[in-house]
Amino acid sequence: MYSILDIETTGGKFNEEGITEIAIHKFDGHKVVDQFISLVNPEKDIQPFVVKLTGINNKMLQTAPKFHEIAKRIVEITEDTVLIAHNAQFDYRILRTEFRRLGYNFERKTLCTVELSKKLIPEAESHSLGKLVRSLGIAVSDRHRANGDALATLQLFKILLSKDLDKTIIKSVIRKETEGELSDRQLDIVDSLPSETGVYYMHDKDGEILYLGKSTNIKKRVNQHFTKGGGRARQLQKATKKVTFERTGNELVALLKENEEIKRIRTKYNHRPKAVSFSHGVYIEKNKNGYDTLTVKKITGRNGAFATFNSEAGAANFIFKVTREFNLCDKLNGISEAKKNCSNYDEGECLGACITKEPTEDYNQRVTEAVQKYSLNNKNVVIVDKGREIGEYSAILIKNGDFKGIGYYNLNHQINNIHILESIIAPMHGNDNTTHIIETYMRKKHGLKIFEISNQ
């Protein structure tokens, strides 16, 4: 659990500043579950340059609550959370100073989004909050006001979590949470999980990931882990002290994240992934008369295959589907076993593939259209699907036919501007397996939005 924090102050000498405004958004890693926003009467004058910067003046604060009147609320909303702030050292110091004046020792774990962004977005020109969020396409209102900056920090932190492929943020938080004995709350793991699509991580007491997987129902899948028999399953059940999860919004992102992270994170209980996750491919071959034909072959790598499948039957079913969709010849593509001509030819409906003359340009063009629809080969596109919450979308970037990574966006200009798009994308490694995952999903999922992009 996190508390996204921003504080505005009076300015002045070190450790003599007073708080003029505070905003806290309690964030469970997926959504905001509580918030507290308030002006604060600092009982001292605001420095003129601060008035000009924030727009907060002494008159505005005359009727605002004093810090001791809101101190209890701050303690309650931040309890058992990690404080997240842009330049967390400053905000945490100011809070501790105010509480110390009240005779109370305020202690919380902290994470700084400046330091996290330097590690996870090193290519950014600047890591100041304003310039960084603008480069990521994050809309900011009320800049230099507590809630405006807190909301910007929240959106930045979401991007940092998605870019943290090694899960260093979550692992460090779990290590802090599990110092000493586990709480009763942690024993009831399954009830705390959502019945939603995403990736889940089973951790030991030190926060290390023992096992990770994807599911369209995280709660149900983790429950199966805890009720499964067998020696290895029982070892995992005993070692698991916490389960974290990441909502993905759709199954394709979950599949790609699982595929990437199993390779990246050496877990104890996941089986090592296969070098090639498919067994058969559909190829385009020209017959002796020049017709483009679809044929199934067993393969150990993509090697020019138009589409890949986990079984020969799956590949054959795909050829049947494409033949119907693009009005191709049954006999030519191995669907009809007629000795001479297919049934469509006998009925006068065959497009000419059964006879010996050369194919028309129209026929082979339809085969090309099938390839263009169902293959990522040489494409520069963004595949858009549902996001993790209302108003959010996922973006999967493909450049020159290769998978480049995943990101989430709320505003159209974030996806229409290639430089912003690449900055919000968490980079991942594309290979034959990721292409297989994406193309398989595209064949099953109708209505996916696919946008062509410039490769500049």
181-229 pLDDT tens trace: 333 443 578 778 898 999 999 999 899 999 999 999 998 888 788 777 7
pLDDT value of residue 186: 38
Degrees, nearest 5: CA angle 200-439-353: 160
280-289 pLDDT tens trace: 999 999 888 8
- Asked if residue 128 has pLDDT above 70, the reply is yes
Banded pLDDT at 84 (limits 50, 70, 90) = very high
Q: Give φ, ψ of 115 to 5 degrees.
A: -65, -40
Q: Indicate the range of 34-48, 54-68, 118-132, 181-195 predicted with least confidence.
A: 181-195
**Which candidate, 8, 90, 98, places its Cα nearest to that of 55?**
8
Q: Which tokens is 271 given?
A: 């089986």
pLDDT value of residue 19: 92
3-state secondary structure the chain: CEEEEEEEECCCCCCCCCEEEEEEEEECCCCEEEEEEEECECCCCCCHHHHHHHCCCCHHHCCCCEHHHHHHHHHHHHCCCEEEECCHHHHHHHHHHHHHHCCCCCCCEEEEHHHHHHHHCCCCCCCCHHHHHHHCCCCCCCCCCHHHHHHHHHHHHHHHHHHCCCCHHHHHHHHHHCCCCCCHHHHCCHHHCCCCCEEEEEECCCCCEEEEEEECCHHHHHHHHHHCCCHHHHHHHHHCCEEEEEECCCHHHHHHHHHHHHHHCCCCCCCCCCCCCCCEEEEEEECCCCCEEEEEEECCCCCCCCEEECCHHHHHHHHHHHHHHCCCCCCCCCCCCCCCCCHHHHCCCCCCCCCCCCCCHHHHHHHHHHHHHHCCCCCCEEEEEECCCCCCEEEEEEECCEEEEEEEECCHHHHHCHHHHHHHCEECCCCHHHHHHHHHHHHHCCCCEEEECCCC
d(CA 241, CA 65) in angstroms, rounded, equals 42
If you search the block for the tokens 């932190």, which residue do you land on?
157
d(CA 155, CA 363) in angstroms, rounded, equals 50
pLDDT value of residue 24: 95
d(CA 200, CA 211) in angstroms, rounded, equals 8
- List Cβ neighbours of 68 (8 Å cut-off, separation of 6 or more): 102
> For the chain, how big is the Rg over CA atoms in Å?
28
Contact 155/64 with Cβ under 8 angstroms? no
CA dihedral over 249, 253, 259, 263, signed as positive or negative: negative
88-109 pLDDT tens trace: 888 988 898 899 889 888 888 8
- Asked if residue 240 has pLDDT above 60, the reply is yes
pLDDT value of residue 144: 82
pTM tops 0.85, yes or no: no
Q: Which tokens is 377 given?
A: 């080969």
Mean pLDDT, residues 107-121 taken together: 89
pLDDT value of residue 197: 96
Would you say how long the chain is, in residues?
A: 456
What is the spatial order of strands in the sheet that 109-112 belongs to?
32-39, 19-27, 2-9, 82-85, 109-112
Mean pLDDT, residues 35-52 taken together: 91
